[in-house]
């Protein structure tokens, strides 16, 4: 999203965006440094792209985002090949950086909290035509001890609902078929606004855009699929998922019954040290409630393994919980240490090989769960959003229970005489086979 907005601003300033770095006069790298691996990857990418200044048309290299925000002046000294660094509060200065208006090697690090999160009219160069992330807030006011995000992005600032709605309408008008609502702590949206509001109120308004009579019967509607789009919510915090949100998801057919709720762990001593503020019993009650009120609910969660002090017993408790709840989707990270995190000071850091063994064990357990869960779809008719053509008569897409980038895919087979499945269109399939993380079916 930040990259799309920066690209949009650069385009509006008259620049042409090229795909290949060897053709570029200016290269912009938007970085992540949430965990050590991401920071390392960003650094590798910058050094690789810096080569184009020597052997290519590139005259300027700009680095934006979390990496300069986290490592500040230290990184500027280590990377003299970079012409400008922009922190997370300086995205709006991207055009000046691209045009060389700042001093060479300059590092712009304004306080992210003082920068408007994103204005509704910010031009956006969408990287996908059929789906778009829609940021509803920036920053986070929680204090998880393993997380650098509040330091990099500041306290949570919810975007005014009118701005989110205008942006959503623009995206829908541009043909987007899936709006993915995101923030660092999405389900606590709106409690910092005046007057306060909550995420379910915002979703009600957004769902109204999609089923409005204008979109259903207006002249711009192209066929029966054009009036339709999905809304999906990612990154709910267990503490802020309220009954209203669950009811809203249950009520609106355009809102995916998809609950992405990162829990990180379930062992009480670890949850306490992580600063997560809930118990295993509360989590169990929450998941039971969701499944009771939304019978087709799909649950996704994320875990951290190898947090300082995690014992074999803590891990066993977590493994039993995963076997018991049987999440539809599960993402697992290994704890990533850094001197600037409160968790760094905790005793009993877990050796990397122990954390890796636990990871392997957990993922093997989840592989079986996922494979068994997917069996239930065989023979069902599903709506699928088409993403790309893989080969002749075979397309890749996603069902409502598969989020972009993180979950599996649904493959669509068409037979001779059936129309092509266009990217961004909805098709119906009858599921014929299920793999561990993917489904396949015939277009019907």
- Residue 7 as a binder of ligand SF4 (CB under 6 A): the answer is no
Residue closer to ligand SF4, measured from CB, 155 or 196: 155
- Span from 102-110, 140-148, 167-175, 413-421 in contact with ligand SF4 (CB under 6 A): 140-148
- Phi and psi torsions of 213, nearest 5°: -55, -35
Question: What contacts 320, CB < 8 A, 6 or more positions away?
Answer: none
Minimum distance from residue 184 beta carbon to ligand SF4 (Å): 4
- Span from 105-113, 136-144, 212-220, 221-229 in contact with ligand SF4 (CB under 6 A): 136-144
- Residue 9 as a binder of ligand SF4 (CB under 6 A): the answer is no
Q: Could you say which DSSP state residue 378 is in? A: T
Residue closer to ligand SF4, measured from CB, 70 or 237: 237
Nearest to 335 by CA among 70, 151, 147: 147
Nearest to 239 by CA among 180, 187, 317: 187
List the interface residues with ligand SF4, window 42-61 (CB under 6 A): none
Answer for which of 84, 144, 180, 256 binds ligand SF4 (CB under 6 A) is 144
- Residue 149 as a binder of ligand SF4 (CB under 6 A): the answer is yes
Contact track, ligand SF4, 163-202, x by CB under 6 A = ---------------------xx-----------------
Alpha-carbon distance of 38 to 195, in angstroms, equals 38
Residue closer to ligand SF4, measured from CB, 46 or 274: 274
Element (H, E) at 304: strand 298-305
Minimum distance from residue 141 beta carbon to ligand SF4 (Å): 8
Q: Which residues of 419-433 are buried (b: 16+ CB within 10 A; e: fewer)?
A: eebebbbbbebebee
Residue closer to ligand SF4, measured from CB, 65 or 424: 65
Alpha helices in 121-187 (DSSP H): 149-153, 161-173
- Residue 140 as a binder of ligand SF4 (CB under 6 A): the answer is yes
Minimum distance from residue 422 beta carbon to ligand SF4 (Å): 37
Answer for which of 70, 215, 228, 237 binds ligand SF4 (CB under 6 A) is 237
∠ Cα 192 193 197 (to 5°): 100
Minimum distance from residue 185 beta carbon to ligand SF4 (Å): 5
Answer for which of 70, 135, 142, 300 binds ligand SF4 (CB under 6 A) is 142
Yes or no: say if 101 and 145 are a contact pair by the CB < 8 Å rule: no
Q: Is 90 helix (H, G, I), strand (E, B) or coil?
A: coil
Yes or no: say if 181 and 232 are a contact pair by the CB < 8 Å rule: yes
Minimum distance from residue 138 beta carbon to ligand SF4 (Å): 11
- Residue 159 as a binder of ligand SF4 (CB under 6 A): the answer is no
Burial class (CB in 10 A: 0-12, 13-18, 19+), 95: middle
Q: Which residues of 19-30 are buried (b: 16+ CB within 10 A; e: fewer)?
A: eebeebebbbbb
Alpha-carbon distance of 115 to 226, in angstroms, equals 36
Residue closer to ligand SF4, measured from CB, 272 or 320: 272
Residue closer to ligand SF4, measured from CB, 235 or 359: 235
Minimum distance from residue 29 beta carbon to ligand SF4 (Å): 23
Number of residues that bind ligand SF4 (CB under 6 A): 9
Cα dihedral 172, 20, 67, 275 in deg (nearest 10): 40
Minimum distance from residue 235 beta carbon to ligand SF4 (Å): 7
| Farthest-apart Cα atoms in the chain, separation | 65
List the interface residues with ligand SF4, window 313-352 (CB under 6 A): none
- Residue 271 as a binder of ligand SF4 (CB under 6 A): the answer is no
Residue closer to ligand SF4, measured from CB, 199 or 412: 199
Question: Site residues (CB under 6 A) for ligand SF4?
Answer: 140, 142, 144, 147, 149-150, 184-185, 237
């Amino acid at each position: 999203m930040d990259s799309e907005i920066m690209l949009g601003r650069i385009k509006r300033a008259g620049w042409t965006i090229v795909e290949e770095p060897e053709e570029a006069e200016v290269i912009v790298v938007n970085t992540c440094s949430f965990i050590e691996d991401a920071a390392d990857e960003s650094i590798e990418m910058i050094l690789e792209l810096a080569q184009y200044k020597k052997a290519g048309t590139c005259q300027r290299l700009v680095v934006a985002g979390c990496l300069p925000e986290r490592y500040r002046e230290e990184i500027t000294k280590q990377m003299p090949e970079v012409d400008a660094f922009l922190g997370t509060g300086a995205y709006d200065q991207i055009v000046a950086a691209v045009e060389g208006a700042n001093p060479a090697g300059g590092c712009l690090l304004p306080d992210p909290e003082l920068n408007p999160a994103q204005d509704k009219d910010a031009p956006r160069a969408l990287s996908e035509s059929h789906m778009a992330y829609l940021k509803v807030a920036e920053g986070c006011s929680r204090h998880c001890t393993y997380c650098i995000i509040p330091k990099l992005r500041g306290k949570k600032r919810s975007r005014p609902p009118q701005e989110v709605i205008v942006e959503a309408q623009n995206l829908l008008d541009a043909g987007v078929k899936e709006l993915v609502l995101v923030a660092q702590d999405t389900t606590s949206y709106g409690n910092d606004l005046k007057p306060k509001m909550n995420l379910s109120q915002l979703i009600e308004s957004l769902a109204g855009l999609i089923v409005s009579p204008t979109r259903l019967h207006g002249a711009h509607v192209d066929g029966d699929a054009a009036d339709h789009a999905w809304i999906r919510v990612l990154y709910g915090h267990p503490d802020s998922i309220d009954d209203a949100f669950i009811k809203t998801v249950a009520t609106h057919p355009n809102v995916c019954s998809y609950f992405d709720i990162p829990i990180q762990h379930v062992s009480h001593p670890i949850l306490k040290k992580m600063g997560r503020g809930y118990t295993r019993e509360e989590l169990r009650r929450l998941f039971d409630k969701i499944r009771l009120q939304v019978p087709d609910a799909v649950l996704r969660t994320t875990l951290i393994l190898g947090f300082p002090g995690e014992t074999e017993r803590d891990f066993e408790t977590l493994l039993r919980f995963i076997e018991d709840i049987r999440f539809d989707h599960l993402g697992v990270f290994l704890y990533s240490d850094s001197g600037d995190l409160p968790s760094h000071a905790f005793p009993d850091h877990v050796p990397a090989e122990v954390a890796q063994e636990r990871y392997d064990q957990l993922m093997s357990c989840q592989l079986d769960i996922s494979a068994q869960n997917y069996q239930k779809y065989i023979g069902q008719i599903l709506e699928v959003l088409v993403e790309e053509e893989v080969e002749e008569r075979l397309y890749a897409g996603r069902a409502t229970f598969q989020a972009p980038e993180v979950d599996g895919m649904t493959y669509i087979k068409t037979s001779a005489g059936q129309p092509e499945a266009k990217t961004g269109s909805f098709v119906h399939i009858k599921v014929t086979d299920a793999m561990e993380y993917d489904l396949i079916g015939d277009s019907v």
